[in-house]
Amino acid sequence: MSPDSQIVPLGDLDKTRFIGTMGQSGQPGHPHYDDMIEPWIMGEMAILPFSRAEVEKAEVSRLLLKP
């Protein structure tokens, strides 16, 4: 598997899978910088949902930006 891999089934985008060695944040020093290294080593991929229902089902936290 390459450092960043993605599987996108165009018939059902909610079944999209992704893995990247840069972690969820991609920012050095961030708590989530290296959280995808172990799954990458193990050949696992993260779910990347697209529909609102699947995104809301998978959400762990929400960031609300207001002007």
Residue spans of the domains in the chain: they are 4-58
Q: Which residues pair with 4 in a beta bridge?
A: 20
CB 21 within 8 A of CB 3: yes
Backbone angles phi, psi at 55, to 5 degrees: -65, -45
Provide the percentage of residues in the chain whose pLDDT is more than 90: 40
Q: Report pLDDT digits (tens) over 55-64.
A: 999 998 888 9
Name the average pLDDT for the chain. 85
Q: Report pLDDT digits (tens) over 33-52.
A: 788 888 888 989 989 999 99
pTM score of the predicted model: 0.67
Residue 35 in tokens? 């959280």
pLDDT at 53 over 90: yes
In this predicted structure, what is the pLDDT of residue 25?
Answer: 61
First to last CA, the chain: 41
